[in-house]
Amino acid sequence: MTTPAELATIAEQVGAWLDESWSVDLTVREWWQRLADSGWGFPTWPTEWYGRGLGGDALTVVSRVFQERGVLGAPSGLGQTMGGPVVLQHGDDEQRRRLVPPLVSGTEGWCQFFSEPGAGSDLAGAQTRAVRDGDEWVVNGQKVWTSGALTTERGMLLARTDIDAPKHKGLGYFIIDVHQPGIEIRPLKQMTGASHFNEVFFTDARVAHANLIGRPGDGWAAATTTLAYERGGRAGTVGVAGASGGSLRGVLDRRAGDVIDEVLAERRAAASEAVDARNPGISGPNSPLTYVKDFGRNGEPGVRQRVVQYYVLSRVNALNQQRVRAEAAGGKSPGPASSTTKLARSVATRVNRDLGPHILGPHAMLAGEEAPLHGAVCHSTVQAPSTSIAGGTDEVQRNIIGERVLGLPREPDVDRDTPFRELKVGTQRSAP
């Protein structure tokens, strides 16, 4: 644990560095490269790999200094918050030298090729195959629920390298180039009307053996590390008003000050109009804590009790998630506590899903800008089921908590030691 005096020194150091290095007239590309070289963009990463080796409490201090000064933060996407830490933990030095620099400088974004039509909760049952061909692997199969596939440069791919090994032991973890012949990306239309996810088809796509993280068959360890970062809130970077998401290329050659202005303007607009449907929060005009008054329901004891329940669930989980992020940022591999925060987020989302329509009544069925709260409650209702699925279902989280936290017996798993080719799992109907 960093002492208060040490945290104060860190704040002074990052402040002095920003005084010398930050300028709104730099391009985003120039600024992100300065951040990468300094180690302040990813301060909890090792010093030899673009970090400063600091703990999670120091990360909070660094982020606060960036925020107070209105400075653009480090690039943030699945590659930076999940892929980079996995390469640092499971890769070798050659892979770290080659794969990490484009992430910390924001010149690359990564997506995640994990789930399949027949391998979601049972991710170890993935059937996408990777067959060695000299210095490359040839990939065939299908992935689904992939965010950012259309706009990212590379993907974290879980593929089966050995069908004669048990399902957990025959997987490889690859970093594959997305935009190549043999990879077809099809957007999926959600019931909200958006298309945040894609299904992806691999037909003789290729990935270099040098991009296999760890040994063939060891992919499950890297995959579980990735999922732990995802469930725990993707910790590790300076969370300031920075650009994020799948595609980072669009901002690289823009003036950093202009990007900051746009981000802040979007945040102000979001505070007054929009809602994050998966996690609506506990403040702002679209929170039940606010609109329960607008619709005159705050005087009803039953409604008040449910609003307080939602507030307590959201607040406690936010604090717990902050703790998980700090531990992960401090160098600890995200553990079962990340499943606790993920499960609690699902519970809070369902409470909000039921609470909104209870408060608004028939108005909750209306969508669009002309609807109450611009249709935010309707959108939250139809979006809510995804929270219990994305990043691992609630059932998976309960199994992890039961086995790794409470010490309960493992769920029966009769096929754990069976060669994969003998299994009838997922969409597999005959031996490969």
- In-domain check, residue 156: yes
Q: What pLDDT, on a 0 to 100 scale, did the predictor assign at position 332? A: 63
Give the Cβ contact number of residue 305 at 10 Å: 10
Give the count of domains, the chain: 2
- The Cα 314–Cα 260 span in angstroms is 29
Asked whether residue 421 carries a pLDDT value surpassing 80, the answer given is: yes
Higher pLDDT, 173 or 262: 173
- Say whether both 218 and 315 belong to one domain: no
For 338, phi then psi, to 5°, come to -65, -35
Residue 276 to residues 46, 190, 287, Cα–Cα distance (Å): 33, 16, 10
- In-domain check, residue 388: yes
- What's the whole-number mean pLDDT along residues 247-274? 71
Position 240 confidence tier, pLDDT thresholds 50, 70, 90: very low
- Say whether both 222 and 280 belong to one domain: no
* Helix 337-360 and helix 301-329, axial crossing angle in degrees, nearest 10: 150
Nearest to 236 by CA among 89, 58, 112, 81: 81
Q: What pLDDT, on a 0 to 100 scale, did the predictor assign at position 366? A: 87
Q: What angle do CA 240, 213, 159 make, to 5 degrees?
A: 105
Asked whether residue 232 carries a pLDDT value surpassing 90, the answer given is: no
CATH number at residue 215: 2.40.110.10
- The Cα 304–Cα 299 span in angstroms is 7
Show the domain range for 199.
88-231
Q: What pLDDT, on a 0 to 100 scale, did the predictor assign at position 139? A: 98
**Run of H or E residues at 60:** helix 56-69
CATH number at residue 310: 1.20.140
Higher pLDDT, 279 or 419: 419
**Run of H or E residues at 183:** strand 183-188
- State the burial class of residue 361 (Cβ atoms within 10 Å of its Cβ: 0-12, 13-18, 19+): exposed
Give the Cβ contact number of residue 122 at 10 Å: 15
Q: What pLDDT, on a 0 to 100 scale, did the predictor assign at position 369? A: 85
Least confident range of 9-13, 31-35, 228-232: 228-232
Is residue 230 part of the annotated active site? The answer reads yes
For 344, phi then psi, to 5°, come to -65, -35
- Say whether both 213 and 290 belong to one domain: no
- Say whether both 101 and 165 belong to one domain: yes
3-state SS assignment for residue 173? strand
Tell me the per-residue pLDDT of 325-381, one tens digit each, with 9 for 90 and over.
666 655 566 667 778 888 888 888 898 888 889 888 888 898 888 888 888 888 888
- What's the whole-number mean pLDDT along residues 294-299? 84
Tell me the per-residue pLDDT of 370-420, one tens digit each, with 9 for 90 and over.
888 888 888 888 888 888 877 778 888 888 889 888 889 987 777 888 999
- Say whether both 308 and 211 belong to one domain: no
- Say whether both 216 and 320 belong to one domain: no
- Say whether both 212 and 283 belong to one domain: no
Asked whether residue 272 carries a pLDDT value surpassing 60, the answer given is: no
Position 278 confidence tier, pLDDT thresholds 50, 70, 90: very low
**The two structure tokens encoding residue 27:** 């391009």
Residue 40 C-beta-side C-alpha neighbours within 13 Å: 27
- Say whether both 99 and 196 belong to one domain: yes
**What letters, b where the CB count within 10 A reaches 16 and e where it falls short, cover 156-168?**
bbbbbbbbebbbb
Tell me the per-residue pLDDT of 53-82, one tens digit each, with 9 for 90 and over.
998 788 889 988 998 898 999 998 899 989
- Say whether both 219 and 345 belong to one domain: no
- Say whether both 224 and 284 belong to one domain: no
Are the C-beta atoms of 40 and 58 separated by less than 8 Å?
A: no
Nearest to 108 by CA among 74, 82, 77, 73: 77
- What's the whole-number mean pLDDT along residues 220-233? 82
Position 241 confidence tier, pLDDT thresholds 50, 70, 90: very low
- In-domain check, residue 225: yes
Tell me the per-residue pLDDT of 154-201, one tens digit each, with 9 for 90 and over.
999 999 999 999 999 999 999 999 999 999 999 998 887 777 889 999
- In-domain check, residue 50: no
**Which residue is catalytic, options 20, 230, 266, 327?**
230
Q: What pLDDT, on a 0 to 100 scale, did the predictor assign at position 215? A: 94
Residue 134 to residues 255, 258, 432, Cα–Cα distance (Å): 44, 47, 22
Asked whether residue 242 carries a pLDDT value surpassing 80, the answer given is: no
Percent of the chain with pLDDT over 70: 86
Q: What is the mean pLDDT of the chain?
A: 85
CB within 8 Å of 412: residues ≥ 6 apart: none
- Say whether both 225 and 281 belong to one domain: no
Q: What pLDDT, on a 0 to 100 scale, did the predictor assign at position 280? A: 44
- Say whether both 177 and 286 belong to one domain: no
- In-domain check, residue 215: yes
Q: What pLDDT, on a 0 to 100 scale, did the predictor assign at position 87? A: 97
Question: Under the phi-then-psi rule, with left for phi > 0, alpha for psi from -120 to 50, and beta for the rest, what region is 424?
Answer: beta
Question: Under the phi-then-psi rule, with left for phi > 0, alpha for psi from -120 to 50, and beta for the rest, what region is 258?
Answer: alpha
